[in-house]
Amino acid sequence: MMATFFGEVLSVYSRAVEEDEDELEDESEEDVQIRREIENKREVHVHWSSEITKSTDKPFQCSDFIIGVGHNAAGFLSAFVLSSGSWEAVGSASLWNERSRGSSQPAGEPSCRFYRSAGCSSVLICLCTCFVAEDQLFQWTEKVFGFIQTRGLQVLVLSDASVSEYTTADPVSASPVPFLRALKSSAYQDRVHCPMMEQPNIVTCLPAAVLSHCQVHQIPAVLYQCYSDVVSPDTVTMETYKPALPCLSKLVTLDSSPSIDVLRKVVKSSESQSNLYT
Amino acid sequence: MFIPVGCSAPSFKEFTLIMPAVSVGNVGQFATDLVISTLHMPRVGYFHSDCLVPMVGNNPYATSPEDSSELSTNAEVYSLPDLKLAVLQIRAPIIQTKYRQFRKSVVSWIKTNEFSKVVLLSSCHAHHRDDRQLLSTPLRYLLTPALQSVVGDGLQKLDWKEMEKVSAFPGISDTEQRLYIPGGGVTKTLYADCCSEGIPLAVLLIFCSEGDNMPHAFALVNYLNEWLHLVEKPGNVAARWKIPSSWKLLFGSGFPPALF
């Protein structure tokens, strides 16, 4: 760990491992206190709305849990699923880390939002567009899955990735971008609607934490990872997720002509960043 | 925390445990891969811990399209009861603030399972060698007192070199000697923990730099094989290790033809 002038803690990354990383042995009382404060500040807070905590049995029963990680995955779910039918916000997860902007309040702006269909309450959707740090991933999954009844649960994760992270013997330029690759936990028995991820590709961050949790706890889970060459959210990448949803069509209505307003909102948030020539 | 694949937890009593340290060039992890892949070891459980960076991928040891889509996580345990052998493979870095917690959980897992001995495969920065170390083989070993009493004599026959202690203040005073394993990750501290806890642990390590570390992995696993005879080698021929399918494209994707 390295603290910068502004006080945020950055994890310095290298394949080479230094020997003296473990200097915690001889830390003073003040160091312990500072470390504890940082740990508290980086804690993941999950809040559920009072209706959901009051009305339903604990743990919360649901048959499908859909998680959209990244702007395109979350944008796809907002435009194609959440805009059709009536969905209500039922909870949020908030966290603070080195990439959080401005606010030093850990429980400030929520970073992930949970939605439940008003008609069919057995589907829970989570949209996550924020960065969850390495040390917060395990906690995030433990806290979120700790609230949900895992028996009879199926998990679907949609996640954005850059095509530069994808390794293949064929030159990448030969395959049409964007494209989907899937990973599934051992307990997942249904059909997968795109090619499986080839060796030696791996997945990290929140999708990896969710899939690891599902794998060890024998929860059926499938991940659709979309490799795109566009950095900002775009509608072509969002459309790529479409094949991933047939498995849910019995529970969720997929909006074939999504609300233009929602799409505009998702795409616009990144456009306004570049205002040099406008 | 160890979570078995099936419903019942396997017994590791009197087993030998092989595990890597996440260290320079990932040599220990590569060598562990070679052991699992060559012996076709089945997975028996997961080491599910908040101390490791989450990571998933498909079966790293896939041999056919049928077994290629099995999900694999950041730390898994493989076992062969016939050989009384268990292997803990670690595929992700340890989270910087959780080194101590990670060591604690590994040590307590080793203790509760009553392994007969533990072998830690590791590596150390080659550019930190002193003059004595430069002139000899790059392979070294270390034994905890608990293991020294059991196998100490056996290793004498192999003519192995023990990891040297170096002066804490070279050039000024040679009285204070210390163990120095730069680039070894948890190696030194885990060794110290095992010494104080009375765990029979051997550290096998190789001096290397980062780059193409596959040759180092073969050297380290051959070194291990000299001692434990995991793979039989007829005569003087080097043991035949099976490279896992996940080692392909270690240096990235293929080249676009438009480049030429």
Q: What is the pLDDT of residues B152-201, one digit of tens each?
A: 777 778 888 888 888 888 778 878 888 889 899 999 999 999 999 999 99
Chain-chain contact of B23 with A17 (C-beta, under 8 angstroms): yes
Residue B58's pLDDT is what? 93
Identity of the residue in A19, A198, A216 whose CB atom sits nearest the CB atom of B184:
A19
Enumerate the residues of chain B whose CB falls inside 8 A of the CB of residue A205.
54
Enumerate the residues of chain A whose CB falls inside 8 A of the CB of residue B256.
171-174
Q: What is the pLDDT of residues A14-71, one digit of tens each?
A: 555 555 555 556 678 888 898 889 888 888 888 888 777 776 566 778 888 999 999 8
Mutation choice for B interface testing from A15, A19, A27, A173 by most B CBs within 10 A: A19
**Top mean-pLDDT range of A249-263, A264-278, B37-51, B237-251:** B37-51
Q: Indicate if the pLDDT at residue A272 is higher than 80.
A: no
Enumerate the residues of chain A whose CB falls inside 8 A of the CB of residue B59.
199
Rounded CA separation B223/A264 (Å): 61
DSSP 8-state symbol, B208: E
Q: Indicate if the pLDDT at residue B88 is higher than 90.
A: yes
Q: How distant is the Cα of B190 from the closest Cα of chain A, in angstroms?
A: 11
**Band (A108; pLDDT cuts 50, 70, 90):** low
Chain-chain contact of B253 with A185 (C-beta, under 8 angstroms): no
DSSP 8-state symbol, A127: E
Chain-chain contact of B54 with A212 (C-beta, under 8 angstroms): yes
Q: How distant is the Cα of B46 from the closest Cα of chain A, in angstroms?
A: 7
Model ipTM? 0.90
Q: Indicate if the pLDDT at residue A187 is higher than 80.
A: yes
Q: How many CB atoms lie within 10 A of CB B188?
A: 23
* Mean pLDDT, chain A, integer: 80
Q: Indicate if the pLDDT at residue A216 is higher than 60.
A: yes
Enumerate the residues of chain A whose CB falls inside 8 A of the CB of residue B98.
135
Enumerate the residues of chain B whose CB falls inside 8 A of the CB of residue A201.
57-58
Residue A51's pLDDT is what? 74
Enumerate the residues of chain A whose CB falls inside 8 A of the CB of residue B97.
1, 35, 39, 135
Chain-chain contact of B57 with A199 (C-beta, under 8 angstroms): yes
Enumerate the residues of chain A whose CB falls inside 8 A of the CB of residue B180.
19
Residue A234's pLDDT is what? 84
Q: Hey, which residues does B206 pair with through a beta bridge?
A: B123, B139
Whether B176 contacts B94, CB under 8 Å: no
**Band (A260; pLDDT cuts 50, 70, 90):** confident
User: Which chain B residues in 141-200 lie under 8 Å from chain A, judged by CB atoms?
Assistant: 180-186, 188-189
Rounded CA separation B154/A87 (Å): 69
Q: How distant is the Cα of A98 from the closest Cα of chain B, in angstroms?
A: 15
Beta strands in B26-178 (DSSP E): 43-47, 55-58, 71-72, 75-80, 85-90, 117-125, 139-143, 166-169, 173-178
Q: Indicate if the pLDDT at residue B259 is higher than 90.
A: no
Identity of the residue in B54, B181, B254 whose CB atom sits nearest the CB atom of A169:
B254
Nearest CA in chain B to A139: B50
Q: Is B99 on the interface with A (CB under 8 A)?
A: yes
Q: Hey, which residues does B177 pair with through a beta bridge?
A: B167
Closest to A155 measured CA to CA, from A131, A177, A125? A125
Q: What is the pLDDT of residues A218-230, one digit of tens each?
A: 999 999 999 998 8
Q: How many CB atoms lie within 10 A of CB B9?
A: 13
Q: How distant is the Cα of B256 from the closest Cα of chain A, in angstroms?
A: 5
Q: What is the separation of C-alpha A257 from the centre of its chain, rounded to a whole number of angstroms?
A: 25
Chain-chain contact of B73 with A216 (C-beta, under 8 angstroms): yes
Domain locations in chain B?
14-232
Enumerate the residues of chain B whose CB falls inside 8 A of the CB of residue A15.
24-26, 210
Q: Which two tokens stand for residue A100?
A: 């959080």
Q: How distant is the Cα of B50 from the closest Cα of chain A, in angstroms?
A: 6
Chain-chain contact of B245 with A15 (C-beta, under 8 angstroms): no
Count of helix runs (H) and strand runs (E) in chain B? 6, 12
DSSP 8-state symbol, B40: T
Mutation choice for A interface testing from B58, B91, B127 by most A CBs within 10 A: B58
Whether A204 contacts A161, CB under 8 Å: no
Closest to B163 measured CA to CA, from B185, B179, B148, B147? B179
Q: What is the pTM for the complete model shown?
A: 0.88
Burial class of residue A118 (count of CB atoms within 10 Å of its CB; 0-12, 13-18, 19+): exposed
For A60-101+109-271, which CATH superfamily applies? PAC-like subunit (3.40.50.10900)
Arithmetic mean of pLDDT, B230-245: 76
From residue A238, alpha-carbon distances to A159, A267, B50, B55 in Å are: 11, 10, 32, 24
Enumerate the residues of chain A whose CB falls inside 8 A of the CB of residue B28.
none
Identity of the residue in A39, A142, A167 whose CB atom sits nearest the CB atom of B249:
A167
* Mean pLDDT, chain B, integer: 89
Identity of the residue in A35, A39, A199 whose CB atom sits nearest the CB atom of B245:
A199
Arithmetic mean of pLDDT, B140-147: 92
Q: How many CB pairs under 8 A join A and B?
A: 149
Residue A190's pLDDT is what? 87
Burial class of residue B29 (count of CB atoms within 10 Å of its CB; 0-12, 13-18, 19+): buried
Q: What is the pLDDT of residues B93-137, one digit of tens each?
A: 999 888 899 999 999 999 999 999 999 999 999 998 888 888 889
Nearest CA in chain B to A19: B182
Architecture of domain B14-232: 3-Layer(aba) Sandwich (3.40)
Arithmetic mean of pLDDT, B62-72: 89
Mutation choice for A interface testing from B90, B94, B97 by most A CBs within 10 A: B97
Nearest CA in chain A to B61: A199
Q: Return the minimum-mean-pLDDT range out of A165-174, A236-245, A250-259, B58-67.
A: A250-259
Q: Indicate if the pLDDT at residue B84 is higher than 70.
A: yes
Residue B235's pLDDT is what? 59
Domain locations in chain A?
60-101+109-271
Rounded CA separation A105/A142 (Å): 22
